[in-house]
Amino acid sequence: MELDREAIMRIIPHRPPFLFVDRITAMEESRVVGTLQVTGDEWFFPGHFPGMPIMPGVLIVEAIVQAGACLALHQGGFTGRIPYFAAIEQMRFRRPVRPGDLLTLEAEMQWIKGRMGRLTGRALVEGTVAAEGTFTFVMGETSG
């Protein structure tokens, strides 16, 4: 299953400038793959860092988890709910993400019990891991 940005926004509640998934290229029962083209025009680059733009690690985490949220909300029966972080574990940053990079976002559902779940995920640039970690989430009430 492939999804463009408009279809992604029908699944997750995030909106620009805080939407960090451009496309879902694959979605299976417990795994999702998406992409984010980092252009250099993003709002955070002028201040992070002047003269050496690097995507903030917390936003790389957000991008991974937004891809995972597409999976959890679409496949997990949580349509219309708001996903919240409950924990971030074993987070590692392996390489900087710079303007011009295409981030490949991968997330795999480990488990869902009630409104809680855990996924592992990573962001890659040209096949090299930029960041990876484990994320626990809880589904809040419906978004409106």
Q: Report pLDDT digits (tens) over 133-142.
A: 999 999 998 7
Domain membership of residue 88 as a residue range: 5-142
Distance of alpha carbon 33 from alpha carbon 104, whole angstroms: 7
Q: Indicate the number of domains in the chain.
A: 1
Please report the pLDDT score of residue 76 as a whole number. Answer: 75
Q: Which of 48, 95, 98, 115 is catalytic?
A: 48
pTM equals 0.96
Residue with tokens 């809880």: 138
Is residue 81 exposed (0-12), middle (13-18) or buried (19+ Cβ within 10 Å)?
buried
Per-residue model confidence as pLDDT tens digits over 20-78: 999 999 999 999 999 999 999 999 999 999 999 999 999 999 999 999 999 999 887 88
pLDDT band at 143; cut points 50, 70, 90: low
Six-digit token pair at 14?
């995030």
48: annotated active-site residue: yes
Sign of CA dihedral 82, 87, 91, 95: positive
Q: What is the CATH number of the domain that holds 42?
A: 3.10.129.10
Per-residue model confidence as pLDDT tens digits over 95-133: 999 999 999 999 999 999 999 999 999 999 999 999 999
